[in-house]
Amino acid sequence: MRSIQMLTRQLEQWGRDCANIYSRNLSKSNRLKRGTLPQGSPPSLPRELPAPPGPGSTKPTTWTKGLQSRMNSTVHSPVAVLLAVTCLTATIGQRFYNQPQLDVGTIAPQTFIAPFDARVEDTKTTEDNRRAARIGSSPVLMIDRPVSQQIEKVLQRVLDEGTQLRQVGGQFPFVDTTILSTSTQLYLRQAQEWEYNVVVRAAGEDAPMGDIPGNSDPDLNNSSPADWAVERGLLTDAGQQAVMELQAYRKRGGSVPFSGLVEQISQARQTYRLAVAAIADTTSVASTHIYGLNLFELSDEEWIQTQSGLHNALKRMLSQGIPGGLPKNILQMAVMIQLEGQVPQGAMELSQNLLLEVLQPNLIKDLERTRVRAEQAALEVKPVFVSVEQGEVIIEQGEAISQSQFVLLDRFDMSRREINWVGLFGFGGTVTIAVGIFWLTERRVHPKLRRRDRCLVLLLSVTAPLLISLGIPYTTLPAVGLLLGSFYGSILSGTVVGLLSVLLPLGMEIEWTYLLANAAAGLISGILAGRMRSREELAMVGGVAGLTQGGVYLIGSLIPSATAGTIWYTILGAAGIQAIAGVSWSIVALGLSPYLEHLFDLVTPIRLAELANPNRPLLKRLASEAPGTFQHTLFVATLAEAAAKELGCNVELIRTGTLYHDIGKMHDPQGFIENQMGGPNKHDEIDDPWESAAIIKKHVSEGLVMARKFRLPKAIQAFIPEHQGTMLIAYFYHQAQQRAQKEGREVRDEDFRYDGPIPQSRETAIVMLADSCEAALRSLKDVSEEEALNMVNKILKARWQDNQLGESGLKREEMPKIAEIFVRVWQQFNHKRIAYPKAALSLPSK
Please tell me the least confidently modeled range out of 45-59, 287-301, 366-380, 555-569: 45-59
Question: Which of these ranges, 150-154, 429-433, 533-537, 705-709, has the smallest mean pLDDT?
Answer: 533-537
User: What φ, ψ does residue 119 adopt, rounded to 5°?
Assistant: -135, 110
Query: What is the pLDDT averaged over residues 472-485?
Result: 88
When pLDDT is averaged across residues 635-648 and rounded to a whole number, the result is 91
Q: Please provide residue 739's backbone torsions phi and psi, each rounded to the nearest 5 degrees.
A: -70, -35
pLDDT of residue 277: 79
Confidence of residue 836 (pLDDT cuts 50, 70, 90): low
Flag whether pLDDT at 86 surpasses 60.
yes
Mean pLDDT value across residues 301-318: 88
Name, in order, each residue with C-beta under 8 angstroms of 597's C-beta and a sequence gap of 6 or more.
487, 603, 604, 607, 713
The reported pLDDT for the residue numbered 730 is: 83
Confidence band of 837 (pLDDT split at 50, 70, 90): low
Residue 831's pLDDT is 57
pLDDT of the residue at 434: 93
Average pLDDT of the segment spanning 355-383: 83
**Range in 51-60, 121-130, 784-793 with the lowest mean pLDDT:** 51-60
User: Does pLDDT of 247 surpass 60?
Assistant: yes
Q: Is the pLDDT of residue 254 over 80?
A: no
Lowest-confidence segment of 128-132, 364-368, 526-530, 695-699 by average pLDDT: 364-368
Lowest mean pLDDT among 85-89, 487-491, 772-776: 772-776
The confidence band for 559, taking pLDDT boundaries of 50, 70 and 90, is low
Phi, psi of 113 (to 5 degrees): -120, 140
- Cα dihedral angle (297, 302, 308, 311), rounded to 10 degrees? -20
Percent of the chain with pLDDT over 90: 13
Query: Comparing 289 with 491, which gets the higher pLDDT?
Result: 491
**DSSP character string of 750-810:** GGGB---PPP-SHHHHHHHHHHHHHHHHHH--S--HHHHHHHHHHHHHHHHHTTSSTTT--
3-class DSSP assignment, residue 494: helix
Provide the pLDDT confidence category of residue 56 given band limits of 50, 70 and 90. Answer: very low
Q: Which amino acid is at 410?
A: D
Q: Is 696 left (phi over 0), alpha (psi -120 to 50) or beta?
A: alpha
- pLDDT of 159 > 80? The answer is yes
Determine phi and psi for 417, rounding to 5 degrees: -75, 135
pLDDT at 320: 87
pLDDT at 347 over 50: yes
The predicted structure's pLDDT at residue 38: 32
Radius of gyration of the chain (CA): 49
pLDDT for 437 equals 93
Least confident of 21-30, 527-536, 801-810: 21-30
Residue 464 gets which letter from DSSP? T
Nearest of 563, 482, 470 to residue 509 by alpha carbon: 470
Residue 66 pLDDT: 45
Higher pLDDT, 672 or 461: 461
CA-wise closest residue to 412 among 84, 735, 102, 810: 102
- 398: DSSP letter: T
pLDDT confidence of residue 562: 40
Give yes or no for a contact between 205 and 212, defined as CB atoms under 8 angstroms apart.
yes
Kindly state the average pLDDT of the residues 229-245. 72
Share of the chain above pLDDT 70, in %: 83
| DSSP helix/strand/coil, 363 | strand
Contacts by 678-687, CB closer than 8 A, 24 or more apart: 683/732
What is the Cα–Cα distance from 701 to 243, expressed in whole angstroms?
128
Give 515-543 as a 3 state SS string.
HHHHHHHHHHHHHHHCCCCCHHHHHHHHH
Q: What mean pLDDT value characterizes the chain?
A: 79
pLDDT band at 207 (very low <50, low <70, confident <90, very high): very low
Per-residue model confidence (pLDDT) at position 497? 93
Element (H, E) at 332: helix 328-339
**Res. 205: pLDDT tops 50:** yes
In terms of pLDDT, which residue wins out, 740 or 15? 740
Which of left, alpha, beta for 503 (phi over 0: left; psi -120 to 50: alpha)? alpha
Of 245, 232, 163, residue with least CA distance to 195: 232
pLDDT-derived band of residue 360, with 50, 70 and 90 as boundaries? Answer: confident
pLDDT band at residue 722 using 50, 70 and 90 as cut-offs = very high
* Residue 253 confidence (pLDDT) above 80: no
Would the pLDDT of 720 be above 70?
yes
Give residue 210's pLDDT.
Answer: 40
Mean pLDDT within 209-233: 48
Q: What is the mean pLDDT of residues 597-618?
A: 88
Which residue would you say has higher pLDDT here, 200 or 220? 200
Greater pLDDT, 293 or 455: 455
Q: Which residues 6+ apart lie within 8 Å of 638 measured at CB?
A: 825, 829
* Per-residue pLDDT tens over the stretch 686-712: 878 888 888 888 889 899 999 999 999
The alpha carbon of 484 is separated from its chain's Cα centroid by a whole number of angstroms, namely 17
Residue 72: band (very low, low, confident or very high) from pLDDT cuts 50, 70, 90: very low
At 165, give phi and psi (nearest 5°).
-65, -40
* Model confidence at 842: pLDDT above 80: no
Q: Say how far apart CA 141 and CA 345 lie, in whole Å.
A: 35
Confidence grade of residue 433 (pLDDT, cut at 50, 70, 90):
very high
| CA atoms of 471 and 486, how far apart (whole Å) | 29
Question: In terms of pLDDT, which residue wins out, 88 or 374?
Answer: 88
Nearest residue to 66 (alpha-carbon basis) of 79, 53, 54: 53
CA distance 20 to 23: 5
What is the pLDDT confidence band of residue 449, given thresholds at 50, 70 and 90?
confident
pLDDT reading at 67 higher than 60: no
d(CA 734, CA 689): 9
Q: Is the pLDDT of residue 470 over 70?
A: yes
Confidence at residue 71, expressed as pLDDT on a 0 to 100 scale: 40
pLDDT at res. 221 = 44
Partnered with residue 753 across adjacent β-strands are 728
* Angstrom distance (rounded) from CA 609 to CA 538: 14
Work out the pLDDT band at 658, boundaries 50, 70, 90: very high
- What mean pLDDT do residues 747-766 have? 88
